[in-house]
Amino acid sequence: MNYFSSNFKLGILGGGQLGKMLLNDTRKFDIYTSVMDSSPEAPCKIACNEFHLGDLMNYDAVYNFGKDLDVVTFEIENVNTDALEDLEKKGVKVFPSSKTLRIIQNKATQKLFYLDHNIPTAEFSRFAYTTEIKDAIENGGLKLPFVWKSAQFGYDGNGVKVVRKLEDLNGLPNVECIAETMISFKNELAVIVARNSNGHVATYPVVEMEFHPEANQVEYVICPARIDSEVAKRATDVALQISKAFNHVGLLAVEMFQTQDDNILVNEVAPRPHNSGHQTIEANYTSQFEQHLRAVLNLPLGDTKNKAAGVMVNLVGAENHTGNVVYKNIETIMGMDGVTPHIYGKKQTRPFRKMGHVTIVSDSISEARKIAEEVKKAIQVISE
């Protein structure tokens, strides 16, 4: 198959920042791309060959978008899987597959998949409705504290809440959910696995994630992770075990906990480029976005090694700021060594909305982390 400067058409469902960064590489390779998103302001709009407005959860919209394309991939999990399955039956290649996506879309199903495949994960209880949890606590079937997670449609800290007392359940949506045992952990880690249709697999170095205590969003991604090589090997082995169990094609980002006794427990996975891999654009020989393309097109996978130590800082909307976005002090951070900002193209900011990220590269991980702190203090994402 000739993908380059040809009649081949790649479809991307979702037009957000992940798609926009993916399109940097489709343009580099001159691959014809068609994108669908529900927003006329989607960041992808400026960089694809065709842009379609449509609801990603609507069967007809997704099927009609994909039926004349050669390969369809996605940059967000909330996509109609029945349409993807019927596209596969029609002969359109969908990567990762509708089967993989269907399991991952629902956190309860995802957790059961881990149990079925002996993949280590935190203990959990599954509930059809949040209102059932109170009875489970009062009957002694569930102990506080725990982490409440909506089974579907959670993202970036939404759909997740730590429940320490009964009152913390107030105001939570009454939906299918899981209650997960609180894990005492040393680190939150992630490994990105790439796999093509030939079964060739490549893993990126383990990254360490530091989270915002309130927003439950990643503030810093640090690569390589500051962990023992044995722990890094364990994390990589678990990520490969999951990749094999899913038999997935494309990228799979595996988020994990390193427990106090250095065991690895899987938190959740994402079948697409991921926040924990943004630093690969500057810090690795092959970025996660190029690698995703290589994997879904069944091309040879690229070198995943680090060229330099990398730290990624998320740029999120400042509290109390809603409206037209201003990146205050961006010139200051651009004057710092090894600093590259990425602006996602969202015109409107709101508190904790992901608006961009900054990568810091250095020969030394401690130096990169120090500069990242300065970047975090300097730049503010505010409204006019």
Tell which residue, 186, 180, 181, has the closest CA to residue 259. 186
Superfamily for domain range 123-181: ATP-grasp fold, A domain (3.30.1490.20)
Per residue of the chain (384 residues), give pLDDT as tens: 899 999 999 999 999 999 999 999 999 999 999 999 999 999 999 999 999 999 999 999 999 999 999 999 999 999 999 999 999 999 999 999 999 999 999 999 999 999 999 999 999 999 999 999 999 999 988 999 999 999 998 766 678 999 999 999 998 999 999 999 999 999 999 999 999 999 999 999 999 998 877 766 788 999 999 999 999 999 999 999 999 999 999 999 999 999 999 999 999 999 999 999 999 999 999 999 999 999 999 999 999 999 999 999 999 999 999 999 999 999 999 999 999 999 999 999 999 999 999 999 999 999 999 999 999 999 999 999
**Is 149 assigned to a binding site?**
yes
**Is 255 assigned to a binding site?**
no
Superfamily for domain range 185-383: ATP-grasp fold, B domain (3.30.470.20)
CATH number of 9-94: 3.40.50.20
**Is 183 assigned to a binding site?**
yes
Residues of the chain with CATH 3.30.470.20: 185-383
**Is 268 assigned to a binding site?**
yes
My answer on whether omega of the bond before 224 falls inside 30° of 0, hence cis, is: yes
Residues of the chain with CATH 3.30.1490.20: 123-181
**Is 275 assigned to a binding site?**
no
**Is 123 assigned to a binding site?**
no
> Model-level pTM greater than 0.85?
yes
**Is 267 assigned to a binding site?**
yes
Residues of the chain with CATH 3.40.50.20: 9-94
